[in-house]
Structure 1
């Protein structure tokens, strides 16, 4: 049997990334993981930032690379991390997003109900563990936060985890939004472990401040950009409408995988191994090719919504700091209903409101600064910058979407 060569990949952000061992190589080669090449990292953000076409595959490989670096840094500071733990942490971060559906979050809100992508990630990991004869057991423990060494779990999921260190830098690079360009190298170099917790040495305090501010700016400028919000909302509505038509037995063009999810009610309870297998064949290409075809569908609601996405002719969106008055919303609804002869329940596909929340820093799960005197302090208290305190407050904004002809 041929052993896999340890490959080197070229990443536009970190340069050369080496795959550390054959287990990780085999996981990357697996069809479940290769599917991530066909799932974009940022959904429909490329309608706002044309360069944002990078994939979940890209991000996962970058995370694995940063995890290797973080563990090397900790080992150099006399934190004992065994080879088995290193591999497990790399596998856990590599697979942390494997359960994301096509266009990331849109699927979770429309055709797969009541099961979050983290739970699907876990199902994929368990299936791979079976296939790899238990070699992923420790990685699963770390991923679930159940491993007794807390800092390894925090590297996967915390307010300063490897996932965030990669996606902020990567998304900033591909969107061209310079504000998100954090120094992940510097932050990793400042990592240490105290009382089994992941901490940042005092010298890294300004890098942490910049990281928190960068996160806030990236949320307002990129992840919660109003055009991105309206595009994602329309995508959710397209899939909801398709699902509704499918439940009435209407024939819809769709790939085999997409058809399965449109014509069956999928929830946490009936998400079987077969469902997982079908989910592993579903990606952005299925959804986009279906939406292209649906622009010609005889159902005017489906074809209208599909055309908006394909031609990037989206609904108008208003964003403000206070809720929209009922009176104002009713006025728009009446106009749209009259002009387009829509029933009450059809109206919500074209006129809807919602809220967005941005909390750059949450004190419930603090980023801990390790002072020169060996004390542990929450960054919000350790920072001499007033703005870290300010950033702990969630900011809520309200948006309303409706057809442009009524603007």
Structure 2
């Protein structure tokens, strides 16, 4: 390929998770310097999790560099081995670095409200009129498309795709360790150095030597613990609920012709569903916070109250519930909320989360990822759950958790009416 040089002096980022992140390729260094990649400094990796774990202030920028570094180490392990073509080295490193470049502010909550997809925006940034695209094109006219296809999981080289998107890939191995470090928990730690040493390339995917099975078991269980102790933490979900409702309320008001004190210029393309790449790139979490502070003083009491709650961490409380609750009590509870002056569309929210800690091959399912295969001494492959009792015990099992969020402080406020009493009885059985 054309357009890349090896720099005379290696650039090094000091990193709390990987100790050092090494850059020798001019292409990678130039991509890091683009304004689209630098924007990731203004987008947190874990959205609202910092309201639960105060250390979780790390960004998509941190994570993207970490994924790049793990990919660099994987490539070094594969060098000279059968099925590995060193011509794919830069493609792997670039895809790893740019895999999250399309994330928006508070990624998943933002996507739900405005029906956006960070993977589609990743493609738009890589293929569009951007600094990132200009740097990539130095490697050839087709290189941006190849990078995009690896991230989209449509590239014909299945091995390269699996290195960044599989059950055990550079992306997951970084975010589990990085998120554990910044949240201060111990769940996400596993022996990555051991896993990297026992990784091997095949024609279709990365596999693990049989001798590394126990390190992979530890990795799978770390993922399971992180999801239920960190990613699906009920306080984080409460903050996400309020964030979601703020954005929905602002959109409803705009479409109804409400006159905002400060016109929401940055949101207008999203409210009208006609945003382009430049509109998308201008919106980051610092801009979101600016509007939330302005909207805290809006005349609309719902928008103002929700912004106050998010900014000052006055979050909703929750109760556990089962599916029968929806059928038997939901309509009655909504009506009682209206009678005490709370709009149930904003103050009574059902939220559920579910996770498959490890999944064997399920053709055609959404978010399907290749299972992990172990390579034995005879050169044969065996799917992980067929060899590991630990992994077999959780394979294909989906754990689901339902919660109902509401403003407990309103129910506890002076003026304890019979209506409030009835609501509390319904909520707490």
* Alpha-carbon separation, structure 2, partners of 1:336 and 1:304: 16
3-state SS in 2 of match to 1:174: helix
Going from structure 1 to structure 2, the CA distance change for 1:187 and 1:320 (only over 3 Å counts) comes to farther
Change (3 A) 1:123 1:294: same
- Rounded to whole Å, the distance in 1 between the matches of 2:165 and 2:145 is 18
- Counterparts of 2:157 and 2:75 in 1: how far apart (Å)? 13
Q: Distance in 2 between matches of 1:96 and 1:80?
A: 21
Partner SS state of residue 377, structure 1:
strand
Q: Quote the Cα distance in structure 2 between the aligned partners of 1:244 and 1:170.
A: 37
Q: 1:358 — aligned with what? A: 355
* Cα deviation digits, residues 277-305 of structure 1 (max 9, x gap): 11111101111111122111111111111
1:93 equivalent in alignment to 2:96: yes
Q: Structure 1 CA distance, aligned partners of 2:26 and 2:263?
A: 37
Residue 150 of structure 2 corresponds to 142
Residue 62 of structure 2 is aligned with which of 58, 64, 77?
Answer: 58
* Aligned CA distance change for structure 1 residues 78 and 239 (closer, same or farther; 3 Å): same
Q: 1:147 to 1:77 in 2, by over 3 A?
A: same
Does the Cα contact within 8 Å between 2:119 and 2:152 map onto a contact in 1? no
Q: What SS does structure 1 have at the residue aligned with 2:103?
A: coil
Residue of structure 2 in register with 1:261 after alignment: 270
Farther off after superposition, 45-54 or 347-356: 347-356
Which residue of structure 2 aligns with residue 380 of structure 1? 385
Question: Structure 1's 303 and 360: CA in aligned 2 closer, same or farther, altered over 3 A?
Answer: same
Q: Is the 8 A contact 1:92 1:139 kept in 2?
A: yes
Residue 318 of structure 1 contacts residue 400 of structure 1 at CA under 8 Å; is this kept in 2?
A: yes
**What's the offset of the Cα at 1:330?**
3.8
Query: What's the counterpart of residue 370 of structure 1?
Result: 375
Matches for 1:7-406 after TM superposition, within 5 Å: 7-75=11-79, 77-82=81-86, 84-110=87-113, 112-113=114-115, 115-127=116-128, 128=130, 130-132=133-135, 133=137, 134=141, 135-252=143-260, 253=262, 256-262=265-271, 264-266=272-274, 275-320=276-321, 322=323, 324-340=325-341, 342=342, 346-364=343-361, 365-385=370-390, 387-404=391-408, 405-406=410-411
What SS does structure 2 have at the residue aligned with 1:137?
A: helix
Give the deviation of 1:391 after TM superposition. 4.1
Secondary structure of 1:44 counterpart: helix
- What are the ranges of 5 or more consecutive residues in structure 2 without an aligned counterpart? 362-369, 412-423, 425-429
Q: For residues 213-258 of structure 1, what are the alpha-carbon distances to aligned partners after superposition, in whole Å with 9 as ceiling and x for unaligned?
A: 1111111011110111111011011001001111122233366433
For structure 1, list consecutive stretches of 5 or more residues without a partner in the other structure.
none
Structure 1: distance between partners of 2:387 and 2:333: 49
Larger Rg: 2
Q: Counterparts of 1:229 and 1:80 in 2: how far apart (Å)? A: 42
- Number of matched residues? 389
Conserved 8 A contact 1:54-1:174 = yes
Which SS does the other structure have where 2:396 is aligned? coil
> What is the alpha-carbon distance in structure 2 between the residues aligned to residue 166 and residue 254 of structure 1?
39
Do the aligned residues in 1 keep the contact of 2:350 with 2:405 (CA within 8 Å)? yes
Q: How far, CA to CA, are the matches of 2:300 and 2:24 in structure 1?
A: 52
Residues 181-190 or 238-247, more deviating = 181-190
Query: Contact 2:67 / 2:170 at 8 angstroms: preserved in 1?
Result: yes
Query: Are the counterparts in 1 of residues 83 and 202 from structure 2 also a CA contact under 8 Å?
Result: no
Shift in CA distance, 139/167, structure 1 to aligned 2, threshold 3 Å: same
Q: Which whole-Å CA distance do the structure 1 matches of 2:329 and 2:21 have between them?
A: 54
RMSD: 2.0
Scaled by the length of structure 1, what TM-score is found? 0.90
